[in-house]
Structures are given as C-alpha cells and as structure tokens.
Amino acid sequence: MSTENNLQTLYESSVKILTDLIAFKTISGEDNNSLINYCDEILKKLGATSFKTFDNEKKRVNLFATLKAKKPNGKKPIILSGHTDVVPVSKGWSTDPFKATIKGNKLFGRGSCDMKGFIACTLAYAPIYSKANLDRDIHFSFTFDEETACQGAPILIKEMSKRGIKDGICIVGEPTNMKIIDGHKGTYEYTTHFKGLAGHGSAPQKGVNTIEYAAKYINKLLEIRETLKKRTPKDSFFDPPYTTLQIGGINGGIARNVIADKCNVDWELRPVVKDDGVWVNLEIDKFASEVLLPEMKKIHPESSIKKEIIGEIIGFNRDEKSEACELVSSLTGDNSREVVSFGTEAGLFQEIGISAVVCGPGSIEQAHKVDEYIVLDELKKCLNLLEGIKKNSIAN
C-alpha cells in the first residue's frame, strides 16, 4: 500500500473513531467509563498492557496503556496524552452536539477539537505502532476532568510515579493547529463558602448577610487583581504578561426580603509565577480571617468563611532545551514555539521530570463554543506527526 493510500485509510479510521468518541457524553464530572473502556478495548486487542485509576466514586476513570518496545535500546518512551472530558453544552447548536456531523471540510461535535480529535488520531494510528519494530515504548494517557482544574491527571501521574514511569517525552494533544506550545500559566480555581445568619429583611442588623460579605470579599480580590499587574515579571512571554484573577460566579440568597445566610463565590487565578499564587492566597485569607470573619462573628458566632480548593494546577515552564519540543520540531519542520494563557496537563508531567510539549489538531478558537468543530485536514496533520514518531522509534 502506498504512503498516500495508507494515510487515507488512517484518516478514515480516525474520523470513524472520532465519531464514536463524540457520541460518549463525557461532560466533566460525569461518568466516562464507557469511553475509557472503548479506548482500552482497542488498545488491548493490539497487545497493549494498561492500568486504570479512579475518583473516589469510581465513576470517573483515567487510562494509561502501553505498547511495549520490541527491541528496546534505552530511548525515552513517548506519551501521547489527552483528556476525555468535554465542557457542558449550551443552547444554540445547529447540529446535535453529541453526533459527529461533517459539513464541507469541518467535523462538528462537542469535543471534536478539544480534544477527542487527538485521541481519535492516536487510536487510529495505534495498529501501526503495534506492528512496528519499536525501539521504545509508546504510552497512551487518557484522563478525566481536565476541564475542571485537571482533577484526573494528578491521580494518574501519582500512580505512574509509583510504577517508576518518571521519564519520557510527553505530547499533550490540545488544539494548537499543530503548532508547538512550550509554556502556559498555572490555573488555580476556588470556591469560597460564606455561612451567616438568616432573618427578616426588615431587620438587617439582626442577621449576617453573606452576600454583603461576599461582595466585600470580591472587592478585595479586585484590589489584589490591580496589584498583580504591578508584579509583572520583566521576562514574561504571556499575553497579558501578568497573573490574572477573575470572578466566575456568585450564588446566594432565597428571596428579596430574606437575609441571605449562605453564599458562594467562584473565582480563579492564572499565575505567571508560583509566587503570585502564594501571595494572593495569603492576602485574601488574611482579609477573610482578620477583617470579615470577626465582623460576622460579632453577630453570629457560628458564622464561617471557608475557601475550597477546586484545583491548583501548576504552570508549564518554558525549557529552551526541551527534548519534547526538539522532537516535534524535527518531525514537523517547524522550529517556532509559542506560549498560551489557557491551561493544560503539560506542567504536571513536567513536574515529575517528563519533557512535555503541547501540540495537537484543531484550534482553541473553536473549543468550548457552540458548534465546536475541527477542520478535517488537521487530523491528517496529526497523523503525519504520529507517522514521524513511528519512524523515529523503529529499531535499526
């Protein structure tokens, strides 16, 4: 079979697999076992070994599968990494978001670019790896709940470390139009819970209105946000160049004439450097414990403010001598490197000593949107990269 015909066959397989993956409604926080089992079955039929790690309820699961080298020679293994969850679907779709629909050169569906397209390509190419005379292991890492502060990946990576998998080259296939991304900010997500004292709206002085205290808390966060701009590192590669802080939601109260005794504030932080994250938390925790809480307890001693850490995902730091970036560059011929402000799991792999790069099919501009799609040629570009990895991983 010619190279061109082989690529066409792989492309058709990737579209078929992507169609299947989109049909699994793996919204963050929901059960993803069916999709993981689908992936595991494909890989096990090819001779892969695998292990799974779970959340506490075992309704969300990570998969780590391996096609072993036939002639190992000390080369670092390749990890092909993708998350299986997708963000919720809002109204306004012109197609069924969980049914792949091809229109022209685009395939529509939730998760088509973020990031089931990459997973589909790796599974479509896996049969080629299984038949090749590999001189290094090829790993497949598929995680849950990346979209909600990377809750799945740390569980998987902890198990990898226990099993001695602490070295390698990791390609995180987030949608980058197959461009090399070698750095991004951290992603810290929090929900702060306020509990006060309910009462009649006609006597606000007799209750502890948590919405009012939450508003003061938010105002403090906004003050901190302005200070963060003054802490901009001189060598920052990011846009914007400073650590950002954003209020994502506030929820509290039951009626206009009832003092709100409960309120929650959702907020996030995207640190350029780890020190910014430490500083912000110290500042807001001090304000809550030394200013707000004493005022609340004067009226109601059982009042409380509790900050819940949804996730604190470290940033992905630029490495000028990155083995992962150099490998992808050598295979694609593109020596450019960029940074982004959105988060990925790359920093988590980097933290345990694995060289990482973010590079995958599709555009982040289509991610999380109504009528999400991937341009079909992007799948072919991704398959070409996977072909290059095979050629770079064959024993002489």
From 290, 313, 336, give the residue that closes a domain. Answer: 313
- Residue 118 phi/psi, 5-degree rounding, is -65, -45
Note whether 233 and 329 are same-domain residues.
Answer: no
Tokens representing residue 380 in the block:
């072919």
The residues, ordered by sequence, that sit 6+ positions from 320 with a Cβ below 8 Å of its Cβ are none
This prediction has a pTM of 0.88
Considering its fold, how many domains does the chain have in total?
2
**Three-state SS letters, 23-89:** HCCCECCCCCHHHHHHHHHHHHHCCCEEEEEECCCCCCEEEEEEECCCCCCCCCCEEEEEECCECCC
Q: Given the structure tokens 């932080």, which residue do they identify?
A: 269
Per-run averaged pLDDT (10 residues), the chain, 396 residues:
75 98 97 98 98 96 98 95 97 97 98 98 98 97 94 96 94 98 94 98 97 98 98 91 97 97 97 95 98 98 97 90 97 94 92 97 97 98 98 89
Note whether 343 and 227 are same-domain residues.
Answer: no
Q: Give the per-residue pLDDT at 339.
A: 93
Kind and range of the H or E run holding 270: strand 262-270
Rounded to 5°, angle at Cα 359 from 333 and 19: 115
Tokens representing residue 186 in the block:
């951290």
Q: Give the per-residue pLDDT at 1.
A: 47
Note whether 82 and 30 are same-domain residues.
Answer: yes
Q: Give the per-residue pLDDT at 396.
A: 73
Q: Give the per-residue pLDDT at 89.
A: 96
Q: Given the structure tokens 């900050």, which residue do they identify?
A: 307
CATH of the domain at 264: 3.30.70.360
> Which domain does 50 fall in, by range?
3-184+316-391
Q: Give the per-residue pLDDT at 61.
A: 98
> Does residue 214 sit within a domain?
yes
Q: Give the per-residue pLDDT at 342.
A: 85
- List the alpha helices (DSSP H) in the chain: 3-23, 33-45, 117-131, 153-162, 210-230, 274-287, 293-299, 323-332, 346-351, 376-391
